[in-house]
Amino acid sequence: MKMALIGLGKMGGNMARRLCRGGVEVVGYNRSQDIVRKIAAEEGMIPAASAAEAVQQLPSPRVVWIMLPSGEPTEQQIRDLIPLLSKGDIVVDGGNSNYHDSERRGAWLAEHGIGFMDAGTSGGIWGLDNGYCLMVGGTPQVAAVLEPALKVLAPAPDRGWAHVGPVGAGHFTKMIHNGIEYGMMQAFAEGLSLLRGKEEFALDLAKITELWRHSSVVRSWLLDLTAEALKSGGQTLENIAPYVADSGEGRWTAVEAIDQGVATPVMTLALQMRFASQDKEGYPYRLLSLMRNAFGGHAIKSAGE
């Protein structure tokens, strides 16, 4: 199989490497050509200086996999690809796009006779060695064309990837996956904070998280990563700012829950806690202090205290 991969950042670059190592011919393009030259030299990837050049090097039906930030970068790239492609060609969006955008883009490309697959991709920086979990949406015909690449990217040919439904279903499934991830991360963070707060027990969090990795109900890859980080990086975390970004999927999950009228308090609250960490001014907390002083005469700490 031969395909193009546009966007060779942390995720896209490692995906290109894994594909090349698995016998898939990859024509790679990235706005910064340094990474293109590097992967070409190290993995045998075919370099391209532009998206047009990448498309020109593909046989029909041409498959172009995009790994770009969601929103306008992905939208613009698809817009630019349409005049370069022909009926029967396929575009794959492997980024974290909103599933509504994927449904719209699938219909848009279908008007030109171009197939589309939305590929929810999980695995992060560990995917190169461990494989990626791939949740893909599209027609059965498109899924069949992409199957060889999916089998290489996944942890094994028979697991870690699935055609979950029509266009939009892949990114929808990944959105919910990330909402669950938010809740799991928040639960671990709160539980470990409680353990650390019991100072008279002098609990070793690295030791406890390592303990939990073995036969515990809460064992998981997320716990594995946490245990390794606490073991190697220390437990005070004094060099890490208390700021947690949200990349969008958590917000979309909360909106979906409202639209469906389904209660998702854990995932939604986990998202809200990320918002709280991003509030540099802490204005709501200042107001709370003001109110406590107003009705109860509780002391207000000055900003310098």
Which amino acid type is present at position 98?
N
Q: Note if 181 is an active site residue.
A: yes
Which amino acid type is present at position 49?
A
Both tokens of 275, joined, read: 């918002």
Distance CA 11, CA 122 (A): 9
Q: How many residues does the chain have?
A: 305
The CA-CA-CA angle for residues 285, 190, 160, to 5°, reads 125
Both tokens of 188, joined, read: 């671990």
> Which residue among 43, 53, 75, 181 is the active-site one?
181
Cα distances (angstroms) measured from residue 233 to each of 23, 205, 212, 290: 37, 12, 18, 38
In the chain, DSSP assigns E strands to 2-6, 25-29, 46-47, 63-66, 90-93, 115-122, 133-137, 161-165
Which amino acid type is present at position 26?
V
Cα distances (angstroms) measured from residue 225 to each of 53, 120, 221, 229: 40, 21, 6, 6
**Residue pointed to by tokens 């509030």:** 279
> Which residue among 103, 151, 174, 249 is the active-site one?
174
Distance CA 256, CA 235 (A): 36
Cis peptide before 61 (omega within 30 of 0): yes
Which phi and psi (to 5°) does residue 123 adopt? 145, -20
Residues with catalytic roles:
174, 181
